[in-house]
Structure 1
Amino acid sequence: MTGDPRLKSRAQQQKPVAVPPPPPPPPMEPPASTMGMDGASDAPDRQSVVDDSKFKLKFCTVCASNQNRSMEAHLQLASAHLPTVSFGTGSLVRLPGPTINQPNVYHFNSTTYRAIHNELAQQNTQLYTQNGLLNMLSRNLSIKGYPERFQDWIPGKPRLDHAEDQGAQGTEAGVVDVVITCEERCFDAVLDDLHNKGGKLNRPVHVFNVDIRDNHEEALVGGKAILDLALSLNEAAGKERELHGDGGWQSGGGAAREGFDEKVPEILAAWQERWPNLPALWSLSWF
């Protein structure tokens, strides 16, 4: 007796269908490089610590109060073994207080970072821990003794009393090759002050501005960007000196110095492509 064809059809419909195995996963690709907030690699190809046997440009970092942005950049450059000093351009050191109308105000050149730290800790430890001021001041006092004002700096005056500052080696003569500010008003103040001082040393100095917002997070990013610029400049200067010798370098003459000065605009342009969110300015001035 043949079976009911309807049941046969139903059985065929209920028979499980074989599913082909899934295809093998695609081959693993090498991980992409870690990129910073402004499109620059956190681990640049060039050596981030300059060998002590190599030529080194001398650097100066500047912000308003010599507290946040200039000090982060100071630390980054000094950690790369680049000679570094730092300053502020404000009339007084101003730090956030309990309200926007009650800032904490201190004098340049005399009030130490440790004294400021201790005072704020006594005022309100919770507030100044929460807003990062105490942590910032702890970092600062490990770099140098006190905030300095750019307008009070006498270029060429020995800085022998700053031997314990980070980055002090190479800055004892009180001159630098490059000044990097962190805000356009500081850039203008530096250029005005250098003009007023009259260039008595007849020594050229490249002045850059890297526009960085004044908060802890962007100061860290900006410090990395300034280090990248400093390493690019230092590398180019070293190559020119190896090629042409160092004759006339200090006074802004000679083939090496001329070659380096001519390359600065293209160095800055290449740097700006790597850090498009940090607008930059540049000018040549004199000590």
Structure 2
Amino acid sequence: MAQQQQQQQIFRLAVICASNQNRSMEAHNVLQKAGYTVSSYGTGSAVRLPGPSVDKPNIYPFGVPYNDILNDLVKKDPQLYKANGLLPMLDRNRRIKRAPERWQENRDIFDIVISCEERCFDAACDDLNNRSGDLNRPVHLINIEIQDNHQEAAVGGQLILQLVNTIAQSQDRDADMDRILDEFASRTNAQVLHSVCFY
């Protein structure tokens, strides 16, 4: 147990989705409760949340606090945003960290980055490949495809925890990663992508 806790401490982990609201924050919450050091981000150009209709989303810049977004939606239509799950989601988010963060603006270094959608995986790959790579330090970028709704985010958070627990038990994650991901995909039927990038 002590060894697993020690591995969790030295394991730099990030989860990303489009807006750093639903899927990445559910995974952030689950992983943090399990004792992992974890950060979360979005790869979109702005934070987009469902609005009163499909063509009228609520759009905020990254960095606007979850609390401010929640208060804004309460002013607009508390019944709608409670019923569609946005208010409970934002309430959870503000307990975890202050505001949604954009992946492309962060300069932290991670061992494992897990995205929740292929376009977010592609955006993170592009961003990492456009950085200098001066440190020659590998980062495993993994995508687990998760639909952007509250039910699938809850399932996806548990899937990501399963995967991270398996990675944390490896004595040599660089050598074992392909095997770990193959076994995880066959056991869970998850759609998995993997790329190694460098800081």
Same fold (TM over 0.5): yes
Counterpart in 2 of 1:144? Answer: 97
- TM-score for the superposition, normalised by structure 2: 0.95
Q: Secondary structure at the match of 2:113?
A: strand
Q: CA deviation at 1:154?
A: 1.5
Query: What amino acid does structure 1 have at the position aligned with 2:15?
Result: T
Q: Select 1:78's aligned residue among 10, 21, 32.
A: 32
Give 1:138-177 correspondences, 5 Å limit: 138-155=91-108, 175-177=109-111
Give 1:62-101 correspondences, 5 Å limit: 62-101=16-55
Q: Quick one: distance in 1 between partners of 2:112 and 2:7?
A: 14
Q: Quick one: distance in 2 between partners of 1:273 and 1:114?
A: 40
State the superposition RMSD in angstroms.
1.5
Counterpart in 1 of 2:88? Answer: 135
Moved over 6 A (4+): none
Task: Indicate whether 1:274 and 2:187 are aligned.
Answer: yes
Q: Quick one: distance in 1 between partners of 2:150 and 2:74?
A: 19
Q: Select 2:123's aligned residue among 180, 189, 192.
A: 189
1:141-186 CA-to-partner distances (Å, cap 9, x unmatched) read: 011000000001113xxxxxxxxxxxxxxxxxxx210000000000
Q: Secondary structure at the match of 2:135?
A: coil
Query: What amino acid does structure 2 have at the position aligned with 1:55?
Result: Q
Bigger proportion of residues as strand: 2
Counterpart in 1 of 2:175? Answer: 262
Gaps of 5+ in 1: 1-46, 156-174, 241-258
Gaps of 5+ in 2: none
Counterpart in 2 of 1:283? Answer: 195
1:82-103 CA-to-partner distances (Å, cap 9, x unmatched) read: 1100000000000001111111
Query: What amino acid does structure 2 have at the position aligned with 1:280?
Result: V
Query: What amino acid does structure 2 have at the position aligned with 1:86?
Result: S
Q: Secondary structure at the match of 2:119?
A: helix
Query: What amino acid does structure 2 have at the position aligned with 1:96?
Result: P
Which structure has the higher relative contact order (CA within 8 Å, separation 6+)?
Answer: 2
The answer on whether the counterparts of 1:50 and 1:80 sit within 8 Å (CA) in structure 2 is: no
Q: Quick one: distance in 1 between partners of 2:4 and 2:184?
A: 22
The answer on whether the counterparts of 2:4 and 2:169 sit within 8 Å (CA) in structure 1 is: no
Q: CA deviation at 1:51?
A: 5.0
Q: CA deviation at 1:283?
A: 0.7
Query: What amino acid does structure 1 have at the position aligned with 2:129?
Result: H
Task: Indicate whether 1:55 and 2:14 are aligned.
Answer: no
Task: Indicate whether 1:219 and 2:153 are aligned.
Answer: yes
Percent of residue pairs bearing the same amino acid type? 46
Q: Secondary structure at the match of 2:77?
A: helix
Q: Which structure: larger Rg?
A: 1
Q: Secondary structure at the match of 1:180?
A: strand
Change (3 A) 1:50 1:274: farther
Query: What amino acid does structure 1 have at the position aligned with 2:7?
Result: F
Q: Quick one: distance in 1 between partners of 2:151 and 2:134?
A: 39
Query: What amino acid does structure 2 have at the position aligned with 1:60?
Result: A
Counterpart in 2 of 1:26? Answer: none
Bigger proportion of residues as helix: 2
The answer on whether the counterparts of 2:4 and 2:168 sit within 8 Å (CA) in structure 1 is: no
